[in-house]
Chains A and B, each alone.
Chain A
């Protein structure tokens, strides 16, 4: 069974600084998706960034980028130029590519606080 581990329960960063959130996963599959989701106090999960395992190039979305190390099964999220609105719970998630009927496997999350 696949598992996702986020080893940092809490992280903090100052406005305009850069922070990296860690995620490791375990799988025997070669094709899969990885995601970072943000959950603010409003509770809605918001997709931050997605990575397809077959793509070697790291995904980037504006201030958010990932460092995807497939062999090491590592998928970290870098937030540049942090803003107060980035404060939220961040979840790393895995999804099998081939298996029908599967959904997202989430880590336990990292709470990010941003100070001015």
Chain B
């Protein structure tokens, strides 16, 4: 059973640029959620995808967007990067029998994004 893989592991971008982060979900999982973890803080929920549709979103602006593909892998896109976007971005996959009953989150090791 494969786990959750995120790429790249580290990334440095300039303010105003755009970035795409990738996540391969665990085999058999159909739900992917993304979190932003600032240094020394707990992860903050960005959004969640279930069967290729966004079905939940945290308090993040529209410049944070995402996709989920038919194989349940996912991308997180951030436009117009700001210095405060510097953080660890975590992806978690799970199996939802229905859209709301997701169990057993498996997390990736994250992408460390630095905006300069």
B-binding residues in A (CB < 8 A): 4, 37, 42-47, 91, 93, 98-109
Contacts and interface: CB of A to CB of B under 8 A. Distances in A.
A38 to B, nearest CB: 11
A29 to B, nearest CB: 13
B84 to A, nearest CB: 17
Nearest to B98: A100
B90 interface: yes
Contacts of B55: 100-101
B-side interface mostly: strand
Interface in B1-42: 33, 35, 40-42
B99 A104 contact: no
Most buried by B among A45, A47, A98: A45
Interface residues on B, range: 20 to 34
A68 B93 CA distance: 26
B18 to A, nearest CB: 24
B42 A100 contact: no
A69 to B, nearest CB: 21
B109 A99 contact: no
